[in-house]
């Protein structure tokens, strides 16, 4: 399977370049259709990697390639979801979902003429994540978990080829978090898109990912890569097995080593 996202010897410095690099010599390849997780100590450059891969930041040195093209500007084939759902409070949930279509071409040019089709797409996504009939609710009428489900729908509404998830479940309680693991597991299985998940939760990474990349302390680089070979589809019961715990423990050891080397 070919590389869909590739960072080759990437170094990035914020500001005027006088500060230490956020990442230095960062290289990784993520296959098309793969679910990859990025873990590491706080401040190691995980979110910087995500910004570089989507063109929101340009590297000082090195090359970023997505879908066979060098990234020189923000790319349009990406959907993104964050820890904070960032729902506009004056728009209904449905209209929040449609927001990317008002911005991203070619949907922007087609939205007015094909609005009923796009609304049907949005409502189908909401139903898929357990929010059927909630499109006319405002964000403040939804729980935190429901808002995060809606945020995932919004990140998928324009049918991206690459989905970037930056700590999307970090602010939720444990039960809701695990429910949403299953939601994103099923969405990935159904759509087969490439997913990059940045997380501090090692259980989350092992449950969801095909491969987990561990980053060093700042300046970030990849220090370990772990294939997760548990068969799919994975049920939450697997998280209580000794085999699962062993992989989590192994990854925790890599992060402990990265912290001690800082």
In a domain, 63, yes or no: no
In a domain, 117, yes or no: yes
Q: What is the mean pLDDT of the chain?
A: 92
In a domain, 122, yes or no: yes
What is the total count of domains within the chain? Answer: 1
In a domain, 3, yes or no: no
- Report pLDDT for 17: 65
The tens digit of pLDDT for each residue in 140-170 reads: 999 999 999 999 999 999 889 999 999 988 8
Q: What is the per-residue burial (b if ≥16 Cβ within 10 Å, else e) of 82-98?
A: bbebebeeeebbbbbbb
In a domain, 143, yes or no: yes
The neighbouring-strand residues paired with 80 are 164
- Report pLDDT for 16: 67
In a domain, 110, yes or no: yes
Residue range of the domain that includes 143? 90-158
In a domain, 120, yes or no: yes
The tens digit of pLDDT for each residue in 200-248 reads: 999 999 999 999 999 998 899 999 999 999 999 999 999 999 999 999 9
Q: Is the dihedral of CA 139, 140, 146, 147 positive or negative?
A: positive
- Report pLDDT for 262: 63
Phi, psi of 168 (to 5 degrees): -70, -20
- Report pLDDT for 225: 95
Rounded to whole angstroms, the Cα distance separating 38 from 164 reads: 11
In a domain, 103, yes or no: yes
**Which of 8-22, 47-61, 127-141, 194-208 is predicted least confidently?**
8-22
């Amino acid at each position: 399977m070919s590389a869909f996202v590739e960072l080759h010897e990437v170094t990035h410095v914020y500001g005027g370049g006088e500060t230490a690099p956020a990442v230095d010599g960062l290289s990784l390849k993520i296959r098309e259709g793969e679910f990859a997780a990025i873990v590491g100590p706080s401040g190691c450059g995980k979110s910087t990697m995500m910004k570089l891969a989507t063109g929101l930041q340009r590297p000082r040195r090195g090359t970023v390639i997505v879908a066979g093209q060098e990234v020189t500007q923000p790319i349009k084939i990406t959907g993104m979801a964050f820890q904070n759902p960032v729902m506009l409070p004056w728009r209904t949930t449905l209209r929040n979902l449609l927001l990317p279509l008002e911005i991203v071409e070619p949907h922007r040019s087609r939205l007015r003429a094909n609005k009923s089709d796009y609304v049907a797409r949005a409502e189908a996504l909401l139903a898929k994540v357990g929010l059927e009939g909630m499109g006319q609710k405002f964000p403040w009428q939804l729980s935190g978990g429901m808002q995060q489900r809606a945020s995932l729908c919004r990140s998928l509404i324009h049918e991206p080829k690459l989905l970037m998830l930056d700590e999307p479940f970090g602010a939720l309680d444990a039960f809701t978090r695990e429910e949403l693991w299953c939601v994103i597991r099923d969405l990935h299985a159904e759509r087969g898109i490439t997913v990059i998940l940045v997380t501090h939760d090692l259980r989350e990474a092992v449950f969801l990912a095909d491969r987990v990349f561990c980053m060093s302390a700042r300046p970030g680089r990849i220090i370990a890569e772990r294939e997760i070979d548990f068969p799919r589809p994975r049920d939450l019961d697997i998280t209580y097995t000794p085999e699962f715990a062993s992989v989590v423990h192994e990854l925790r050891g890599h992060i402990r080593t990265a912290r001690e080397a800082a």
